Amino acid sequence: MKNSDIADELSLLSKMLDLHNQDAELAKSLSNAAFQIDRYTSEMSSMPRNNIYQLRGITNAIADFIFELLDTNTLNILQHWLQNTPDGILQMMQIKGLGPKKLRIVWKEMNIENPSELLYACNENRLVAYKGFGEKLQQSILDATEFYLNSNGKYLYAKVKYFSEQLLLYFTQLKKWQVSLTGDIRRQSNIIEFVEYVIVGKAESIASNLDAQYFTEINIEDKIILCTSHGIPIKLYCCKANEFGTLVFTTTGSSDFVNDFQNQYSISTCSDEAEIFTSQQLPFISPVIREYTVANTLALPQNNWIQFADIKGIIHNHSTYSDGANTLQEMALACKNSGYAYLVISDHSQYAAYANGLRPERIAEQHKEIEELNKTLAPFKIFKSIECDILPDGNLDYTSEILNSFDVIVASVHSVLNMTEEKAMARLLKAIENPYTNILGHPTGRLLLGRAGYPLDMKKIIDACAANNVVLELNANPRRLDLDWQWLPYAVEKNVLISINPDAHKVEGIADNEYGVYAAQKAGLLASQNLSSFTLQQFEQFIIHQHTKRP
């Protein structure tokens, strides 16, 4: 074992001891020894053992660790602590700027167990509530975590959408190439591995025309150019002009869709993709919905899908009353100035203590402020709402009396996420059946590229929402997009309303609705099927109707 490896092992042990709050003294001397060992010019493996005791920074205890490493290539005590550290915590140790002592607070006090949860907490401005975590540190942890997650090779649609459009312009306008977006990004998929294009031209000549200052790691494999730009992986399919349409078609659809199409129809060689449909007397199927079988796809509405401009009200948002970064007034003004008709403010309920959830006194205070703001902002209107925790037993977080004081109740699960399907179903069904529940918030609790949701029988959840007249949220935060678009057709079939909500924790978050709309388009959702597209008057009617459920 080389000195540098020994130093790494001792340094990791030092971090583990700090992380688990063990022997601070030993941790400190280990870290110091690791630093010194890295600078020794002669290898300890070829030294007489007695000499090792004489080296700078080496105590007797540390010398024993070194001998153990030299003899066995491993350290028992280190293995012990590694085995007692969850994978997500080990992953977070790779995040720059998050030392073991801070990580301990993140883990033990904030109950954050993996990088995605950490990123989410930073975005929700949650770290600053803890001692030693200022706004600056939170921002640098956020940046480092994003970097860490991106380097896993997968990207949220929101992260690469505008980049992909810029690159398309660069290809078409600067390079004058005939180009189309293709693949996952053309289908508005939630998660993207490559940004893909079809380009007319020879792979070798296109590759040699890619400016080295923007494109790196250029490789050609069988008419496909693989490269990266700004660290994002790119795939360029190269072809002749007369096969352009065919290649765009075969690389756009999911393999399920393309295979199914191929089994039923012939795919002609053509320069224009539209010919593939017209030659089979089929309507042009939008690339966005080419996911399942052709028949499934054709059963969806083919046009008039919901657009971003169809969002009329901003539902499910947070303010400084709980864990938001902007005041209620700032949130309301931002909505009003952007032309929205209403804001539904849904701060966290009292059970969510980590998010500064509202105790009854604070609710009264907020309601008073809403009433005052509504006088000055009319006809714009703020609705009294709460994102009410669904407690582990399925009950809502307040008494009926308090629940009655809200216009709208968004019920969500935020804690005790590790559940069997049986437990999760019982918990959610009880909440859906609660007569105060109007909207089920982020139904599965998943974080894209982060954590799977709790296990649910989603059909049964949708059936229960239908039976109890509960709206299903499509949380538009690009990291959630929960409920997943795949379930929208079934919800629509059961007449369950969807609500595209930004869950904004600051003014900028309001615009996240855009990504909810892109996801909803993948299911052909219409504006009339979305609650947040209701006009103010329709929304007030909706509330009156919902309140008839209350005892």
Q: Which is nearer to Zn ion, 288 or 390 (CB)?
A: 390
- Tell the residue number behind the tokens 């790119």, with chain if given: 234
User: Least distance from C-beta 408 to Zn ion, angstroms?
Assistant: 13
With vertex at residue 535, the alpha carbon angle to CA 533 and CA 539, rounded to the nearest 5 degrees, is: 90
Preceding peptide of 379 cis, ω within 30°: yes
Handedness of CA 468, 410, 116, 352 (dihedral sign): negative
The residue among 9 and 503 lying less far from Zn ion, judged by its C-beta, is 503
Interatomic CA distance for residues 352 and 322, integer angstroms? 9
Is residue 189 near Zn ion by the rule CB under 5 A? no
Least CB distance from residue 151 to Zn ion, whole Å? 27
What Cα–Cα distance (Å) separates residue 252 from each residue in 150, 233, 302? 23, 17, 17
503 is a site residue for Zn ion (CB under 5 A): yes
Give the interface segment with Zn ion, choosing from 1-9, 18-26, 191-199, 503-511 (CB under 5 A). Answer: 503-511
- Assess 529 for contact with Zn ion (CB under 5 A): no
Candidate ranges 332-340, 351-359, 416-424, 500-508; the one touching Zn ion (CB under 5 A): 500-508
Phi, psi for residue 114 in degrees, rounded to 5: -155, 165
154 to 45, 112, 158, 232, 450: CA distances (angstroms): 41, 21, 12, 9, 11
Query: Which tokens in the block code for residue 462?
Result: 């949708």
Q: In what order do the strands lie in the sheet with 381-389?
A: 313-317, 342-348, 381-389, 408-412, 439-440, 471-475, 498-501
Is the Cβ of residue 290 or residue 316 nearer to Zn ion in the bound state? 316
Question: Between residues 184 and 503, which has the closer beta carbon with respect to Zn ion?
Answer: 503
Q: Are 130 and 355 in contact (CB under 8 A)?
A: no
Query: Toward Zn ion, which CB reaches closer, 270 or 504?
Result: 504
Closest distance to Zn ion from the beta carbon of 156 (Å):
18
**Distance, first Cα to last Cα, the chain:** 72
C-beta closer to Zn ion: residue 310 or 503: 503
| Distances in whole angstroms, Cα of residue 318 to Cα of each of 268, 346, 407 | 52, 6, 16
- What is the total count of residues that contact Zn ion (CB under 5 A)? 3
Q: How far is the CB of 376 from Zn ion (least distance, A)?
A: 26
Please state the closest distance from residue 124 (CB atom) to Zn ion, in A: 8
Minimum Å distance from CB 536 to Zn ion? 22
Phi then psi dihedrals of residue 383, to 5 deg:
-100, 145
**Residue among 502 and 524 whose Cβ is closer to Zn ion:** 502
Closer residue to Zn ion, CB minimum distance, 129 or 218:
129
Kindly tell me which of 412 and 513 has the beta carbon lying closer to Zn ion: 412
Minimum CB–partner distance for residue 317 and Zn ion (Å): 8
Separation of alpha carbons 495 and 522, rounded Å = 18
Q: How far is the CB of 486 from Zn ion (least distance, A)?
A: 21
- DSSP letters, 405-422, are T-SEEEEE--S-----HH
Residues 214-273 that bind Zn ion (CB under 5 A): none
Tell me the closest approach of the beta carbon of residue 384 to Zn ion, in angstroms.
15
User: CB 369: neighbour CB atoms within 10 A?
Assistant: 18
In the bound complex, what is the minimum distance in angstroms from residue 111's beta carbon to Zn ion? Answer: 15
Span from 116-124, 145-153, 498-506, 525-533 in contact with Zn ion (CB under 5 A): 498-506
According to CB under 5 A, which residues from 370 to 389 bind Zn ion?
A: 387
Residues between 397 and 456 that touch Zn ion (CB under 5 A): 412
* Locus of tokens 């059963």: 299
Length of the chain: 551
Name which of 240, 241, 276 is nearest 258 in CA terms: 276
Which lies closer to Zn ion via its Cβ, residue 10 or residue 531? 531
Name the site residues for Zn ion (rule: CB under 5 A).
387, 412, 503
